[in-house]
Chains A and B, each alone.
Chain A
Amino acid sequence: MAGALQVRNLRKAYKDVVAVDGLDLEVRLGECFGLLGPNGAGKTTTIEICEGLIAADSGEVEMLGMRWDSNSSELRQRLGIQLQDTQLAEKLTVFETVRLFRSFYHAGPSAAEAIALVQLEEKQKSRVGTLSGGQKQRLAMACALVGDPDFLFLDEPTTGLDPQARRQLWDLIEEFKLAGRTILLTTHYMDEAERLCDRVAIMDHGKIIALGTPRELIASIGVEHVVEFSAGGASKTLTVSALREIEGVRDVKAENGSVQLQVTELHRAVPALLAELDRQGLPLTELRTHSASLEDVFVTLTGRRLRDE
């Protein structure tokens, strides 16, 4: 299946930073594609070049078989865009805002239908300024949907929202996928990408450093589980090197008194770890395990965490 979006060798530099550094990207029709990375990785610059809002220094962008320099007005009709931190006019009501955006498009749901799509019917007559963060994001979604777009850009749609509001938005985005729309989503929440995206690209310093389905990426680091623990007290310290010898342990990281083990077989590694601590005479004060996630992929690839920046 051919691409909804093809990006080749894209480059964009601001005064002293190279924001996008020779990026290649392909988004397939009908998929939800996640662009992941920490703040400053170049996600927003990439997405805004694809949206035709800023010009690249070099490289090519082809969307739905069209290009910005020759088909921009037709392209605009077919894109739905939600930008990071847009503040819609506070004095207007929800309905007035959506009706305004609806007037720009040839076809699509009516303003009231678009509002119903994002479940804001009760707030139709409320001023935008009185909405909560989650409601504002849903309104932004309605504005992105009024043109009945084939391709939807969502730039950090859930940043700054509480967990309940995030889950509501996730449900919405899943409905858009079912309607056969192609979605390009940026986020720095790995759980969001794992839940919503068919494929993800991890971006760092303007480049894509890993690409695949969330499952593939997690499998690629050869780790299934992560064990975190703290042990001992002030009197005795842990001999970290001994941990590397435990069967199934791929990597060990110690920071601030907490130790992180990347392991393949949890059922063997945990008893072995307990035995080792017992041998060193250290009591366990904390123990946690989780299945490997995209977060661990990022840590493995870059040695940094995503949200520490």
Chain B
Amino acid sequence: MTNADAGRARRRKFARMGAPAIGLLALLTTVIPLRAAEPGATDADKVRFFEKDVKPLLESSCFKCHGGEKKIKGGLNLTQRERLLRGGDTGPAVDLKDPAKSLLLKAISYKDEDLQMPPKEQLAPAKVALLTKWVEMGAPYSPSAASGTVTSAAPSPAAHIPPKVTPEAMKFWSFQPIHRPQVPEVKEASWVKNPIDAFILSRLEASGLPHASSASRTALLRRAYYDLTGLAPTPDEVDAFLADPSPDAYEKVVDRLLASPQYGEKWGRHWLDVVRYAETNSFERDGAKPNAWRYRDYVIDSLNKDKPYDQFVREQIAGDELDHVTPESIIATGFYRLGPWDDEPSDKAQARFDDLDDIVTTVGQGFLGLTMNCARCHDHKIDPIPQKDYYSLVAIFNNIAPYQTSGPNILTDIIPDDKKKAYEEEKQALAQRKEDLKKRIANFELPVIANLSEAERADLDHPKKRAALLEPKILAATNADELRRYKELRQQLKQLEERKPTDYPQALSVKEISPKPVETFVLRRGNASSPGEPVTPAFPEVLNPPKVVLAPPEPGQKTTGLRRQLADWLTSPKNPLTARVIANRLWQHHFGRGIVRSPNDFGFGGDKPTHPELLDWLASELMANGWHLKAIHRLIMTSNAYRMSSAPIESALAKDPQNDLFWRFDMRRLTAEEIRDSILEVTGKLNLKMGGPSIYPTIPQVILAGQSMPGAGWGKSSPEEMCRRSVYIHVKRSLVVPMIAAFDAADTDFSCPARFTTTQSTQALMMLNSDMINDEAKSFARRIRKDAGNNPEAQVRLALRLALCRDPAEDEIARGVTFMKTLKDKHHASDDLALDQFALLVLNLNEFVYLD
């Protein structure tokens, strides 16, 4: 069931007693004999009462959803007594020991807003009384009903039992420990640059498929630049590469690009997709998340530093609980704060679990490639993940302080290492002064409080009422001078409480409410007001994980340490998923698709890897290399597999049209960010300034008009700032820069495993007619005119060279020249306008936005 739907059920005043638990249907075919000891089974009067009065009522009011004819809602089938007693997803429908407490009676009483049956309208009082009487009698059924003749309960074709955690299930490929596979032997050994090629080639040879020839040097260079930096090479860089005769000319480029700061910006964006990065909360106010951009910078910086991936994970999951907590690791925990958040939920208890679900979903899919979210309301229908496992994971996060718009729940002072000691001392001194003041204040208050009446005491909790209550009494007990002193002390305390030790910058970060784990329960049907069995913190059982240790908190401990244990397990070499999932993401963004095509789903419902050995080899290589991602990038990019041409081979296309076996390199369209950045790059306006608060490119009025307060929450940046890379654009959930949205940027409300690539005419309209693109085309034209002069041929040559990273052919130049001439001759365009239009045309070329 979907996370969002899950808890919703309870909010409906239509709340069902459960969802269709398809699995249960199958179980129901086993008829459990009535126990003779139970009342009603043999009593003829009671049976008659059932037959005459109760059964018609059940048939008319209940069986449509709970009679098994079409579908069974909430897993509750009322056609037989044992089914009634077993109940549905929310538990037994009738409590024989205490009939008044029966769920069924609660539901028909309509007293609980979350559980009202029948949902369409309340039963007439006489009918309620009748059913109540029946339940009090012990809910007798007739023998015919007991034998299942009321309605057929044969399992529907859709009947499906959720997979259980069994030794068999644990054998699933992605749950296996990662072993380093043997590198296969191949016939064409000369093609093998590194083991990647052997894995690819052995499959091709076995299938009788050819591999593509090498891509041209220009195509390869452009591919490498975009894949590692999200930007095209400049003409000079192209020339230098083509002129470099050394055998490792390409490897040198790869190393240089990996070392360039643009690498972190490009690959950081991939990670931001996975962690649903946005800088606002969505919903009515869509308020800004303070300092969210520091997390974005953290990601970019971590990748540029080639921070080991295990450390990267540990910092995000438990940066505040590590042995060595740093400002960086605190910023990393902003990970928990990036999701959507309703500041005005209709149901606060449920909203708390929605927020936790956002975390469980993102951790599950992002780090583990498991759709844990599907087990929020019931056992996972596809994977062996019981509902209990979901809540055991919730238990790990349940101490996280709720999100707030600001304040200490979500913000932490970032103190550099060398200032920490002084900061702590300052903080302690401050705390000491506060304590002292409080004591002195108490000396005034306590004697007075001792004489208060019960009614008066109630006012002590209200700051204003408290003052109004105590001050006259203190005055009466002492004198005006003393009262003045008392007031002064309180004023001092107030000032101290508002004071921060030193004004350090703050990080959006995780905090916990206490070091003692909050009690967590399985929530029936995901319903926050329907707790079931208690759970203790644990990792998904099917992965055969270590046990979570529950130790009493040490003095001074601020958090439970549970996230630290999660981080340790996630990054343990024994964890079968973490390394596979990230290795797959690396492959995905180089080859256009993962070895597992469902990068967020490595479960039963996900895709099987097309090259399982290769994936395992990459994963083990990653770990063997100290989790350094750049080493894997380098391996991938220097393989012959990566260097293949994207040109079709007819025979291979016929046999393997989807390129399952990687017989060639797949073409790809640039991402939204790459398109925008490339436009800025060719116009010469791209500003490579890194980091800091986000920027606000101009958004057209018609888009702003869609906001309830047009323009709200969208700042203004200087023209230079607006030309910075797209990864620095403010990510506002309800307001996305049109160009970024149109070219399929990630949806930010969920973890995004892979971008869409759609082609639509609105993109074409934007690329032809928008103010933005025409401004850029003019800038592009200015640059061309400046660098190529007034000769149309030189202008066309330069424009195409800048945009396509190659020397254009003569017919391509002639075509552009003719176009400008036609505009001038036939349409009386000025020289400038003709060149502007040609510049615009170049920005629209397929070759400009597609990579070979």
Bound pair (A, B):
no
Taking Cβ atoms with an 8 Å cutoff, the residues of B that contact A are none
Taking Cβ atoms with an 8 Å cutoff, the residues of A that contact B are none
